Amino acid sequence: MKRTDNDGKKSPMEGAEEARSSPGGKVRRQGVRKGKRASKAVDQKTKLERSRQSARECRARKKEKYQLLEEMVEQKEKEVVSLRSQLESFKKDLANGILPSVEDQPTTDGSSGVSKNR
């Protein structure tokens, strides 16, 4: 009696192939059973609804972001107008020979030049 390397046992791949084949030698299809089709359609509807909800939320976040940006633009435009009027005031003072004091000049953070702790 001849002995094989694997002692007559089949490899896992051979076992899988045999499990898929029917006794007549035909290979069975590994597909979705009839019961799974209805569940798959429900899953598709659920997935579509989640996608729609996510899109609604995304649009709402986008709208809120644009509103915030518009408010920031308005605020910056007001700051520009204020700084321009202050610049014109300083130009007039310089033209009249008056030097602006240190307290009148704003710093980069928007506060006056002299700190209150001094």
Predicted local distance difference test score (pLDDT) of residue 42: 83
CA distance 73 to 81: 12
Residue 83: both structure tokens together = 């700084």
Predicted local distance difference test score (pLDDT) of residue 118: 37
CA distance 90 to 96: 10
User: Taking the chain (118 residues) in consecutive chunks of 10 residues, what is each chunk's mean pLDDT?
Assistant: 55 53 60 65 92 98 98 98 95 88 64 50
Using an 8 Å Cβ cutoff, are 55 and 62 in contact?
no
DSSP state of 68: H
Predicted local distance difference test score (pLDDT) of residue 98: 86
Predicted local distance difference test score (pLDDT) of residue 69: 98
Predicted local distance difference test score (pLDDT) of residue 58: 98
Beta bridge partners of 112: 106
Backbone angles phi, psi at 27, to 5 degrees: -90, 130
Predicted local distance difference test score (pLDDT) of residue 10: 56
